[in-house]
Amino acid sequence: MIARTPEPPYYAVIFTSIRTEEDNGYADTALRMEKLAREQPGFLGVESARNETGITVSYWDSLEAIKNWKNNAEHLLVQQSGRNIFYRSYKTRICKVERDYIFEK
């Protein structure tokens, strides 16, 4: 599903990852983190796809909202699990969305 975002500007956090071989509870944890993110002030939406490489893009109304999400206590614990258990590698990019457009039939 394509996230419904407001008129720009807003921010996108692009999280690109390569997983480890085993699930180790990843699927349940990912669902919990999406639910928790949706509860955070400033959250606008999320899109995610995974094949060999996973890409999750979350949308936020401000850099402060992104910082607060990054520092959420439960999210901090899961970030540690990500480094220790879930991921072989990952990269996070934070971008300001200045323009967007949509096509729909």
pLDDT of residue 8: 98
The H or E element spanning position 41 is none
Is the model's pLDDT at 1 over the cut of 90? no
pTM beyond 0.75: the answer is yes
Coil, strand or helix at 42: coil
Give the position of tokens 């996973």. Answer: 54
Distance, in Å, from the CA atom of 105 to the CA atom of 98, rounded to the nearest integer, reads: 24
Distance, in Å, from the CA atom of 13 to the CA atom of 90, rounded to the nearest integer, reads: 13
Nearest to residue 16, comparing CAs of 54, 45, 46? 54
Query: pLDDT-based confidence at 22, cuts 50/70/90?
Result: confident
pLDDT of residue 17: 97
**67 token code pair:** 């910082």
Q: What is the pLDDT of residues 40-89, one digit of tens each?
A: 999 999 999 999 999 999 999 999 999 999 999 999 999 999 999 999 99
Query: Please, what are the domains in the chain?
Result: 19-97 (3.30.70.100)
